[in-house]
Structure 1
Amino acid sequence: MARSDFRFFFPKRVRYAECDPQGIVFNSRYLEYLDIGITEYWRATGIYAQSPTPMGPDFHVARNLVEYRKPVLLDEMIDICLRCSRIGSSSMTVDFEIHGAGADDLRAVGQQVTVNVSEARGAAAPVPDWVARCFEDYEGRSLRAEKAAA
């Protein structure tokens, strides 16, 4: 996707502790960047403000995919770009990209699938309508699998 395909992005500066001795970001840090981005994306969509609990709904990660395209370097500013691309009956798919700050300079691309759960053991539960509405209102389009097919 193009950088402009993402309504949401969160800027971040790469810190020393995130890099190897050559000044290149460790591959595991990309999932940390995704986690930072998701927290800020949820805040932007209004999930935390509308949630009946302080932490918001309980989604567990089911799948992560990261494809590395170009290195991210020490002290560089990056944009963590996210968008919800699909909401299923109990799952949600988020697409993400990492770009050099303010540019269509793709460094990594990926996807995360999470499952809404009703308890600590991870029993799947339907995605609440209010959660789906927050993401659909923010993205300006239908994201629910059953509605998108109609």
Structure 2
Amino acid sequence: MPRADFRFSFPKRVRYAECDPQGIVFNSRYLEYLDIGITEYWRAAGIYALSPTAMGPDFHVARNVVEYKKPVLLDEMIDICLRCRRIGSSSIIVDYEIHGAGADDLRAIGEQVAVNVEESRGAPAPVPDWVVRCFEDYEGRPLRAEKAAA
């Protein structure tokens, strides 16, 4: 999708420890970059500021997909771009992309599905309305499955 479709991006410099001996980022680090992006995206959307608990609501990752396009190299600046695509009854789907410095420098794309639970070993629970409002206000569009489809 066009980079302009992402309201949120977070810059990050690639560190030595994230790379293999050839100076290319290990594939597993892309999920760490996603985790950094999710944390900062939630902060930007106001989730942590409004949460009744210090950690925010309890979402567990149900699915991660990464599609690698071009390598990310040692000491490069990258942008971690995220957007909430849709909110279901108990899940949130987030699209993400990792870009290099150029406007058309796409390095990876993917998605994450996270499910809200009431406790660490609990069953899926509805996404709280205040969380939906935070993401919809931040993205400036409806995200609930039934509203987004209409």
TM-score (norm: length of structure 1): 0.98
Amino acid at match of 2:60: H
Range moving further from structure 2, 11-20 or 94-103: 94-103
- Say if 1:60 and 1:122, in contact at 8 Å, map to a contact too: no
- Say if 1:10 and 1:37, in contact at 8 Å, map to a contact too: yes
- Say if 1:72 and 1:107, in contact at 8 Å, map to a contact too: yes
SS at match of 1:40: helix
Corresponding residue for residue 57 of structure 1: 57
Amino acid at match of 2:25: V
Map 1:107-126 onto structure 2 (within 5 A): 107-126=107-126
Following TM superposition, by how much is the alpha carbon of 1:102 offset from its aligned partner in structure 2, in angstroms? 5.5
Corresponding residue for residue 14 of structure 1: 14
Corresponding residue for residue 3 of structure 1: 3
Corresponding residue for residue 134 of structure 1: 134
* Matching of residue 73 in structure 1 with residue 80 in structure 2: no
Following TM superposition, by how much is the alpha carbon of 1:123 offset from its aligned partner in structure 2, in angstroms? 1.0
Following TM superposition, by how much is the alpha carbon of 1:4 offset from its aligned partner in structure 2, in angstroms? 1.2
Runs of 5+ in structure 1 lacking a partner? none
- Say if 1:87 and 1:132, in contact at 8 Å, map to a contact too: yes
How many corresponding residue pairs?
150
Displaced runs of 4 or more, over 3 A:
none
SS at match of 1:34: helix
Taking the aligned partners of 1:102 and 1:58, their CA distance within structure 2 comes to: 36
Following TM superposition, by how much is the alpha carbon of 1:60 offset from its aligned partner in structure 2, in angstroms? 0.1
Runs of 5+ in structure 2 lacking a partner? none
Residues 42-86 of structure 1, C-alpha deviation per residue, up to 9 Å, x if partnerless?
000000000000100000000000000000000000000000000
- Say if 1:14 and 1:77, in contact at 8 Å, map to a contact too: yes
Identity of aligned residues (%): 87
Residues 91-113 of structure 1, C-alpha deviation per residue, up to 9 Å, x if partnerless?
00000000003523100000000
Following TM superposition, by how much is the alpha carbon of 1:148 offset from its aligned partner in structure 2, in angstroms? 2.0
Amino acid at match of 1:87: I
TM-score (norm: length of structure 2): 0.98
Taking the aligned partners of 2:87 and 2:122, their CA distance within structure 1 comes to: 18
Amino acid at match of 2:128: P
Taking the aligned partners of 1:102 and 1:49, their CA distance within structure 2 comes to: 33
Amino acid at match of 2:96: F
Root mean square deviation, CA, Å? 0.9
Following TM superposition, by how much is the alpha carbon of 1:40 offset from its aligned partner in structure 2, in angstroms? 0.2
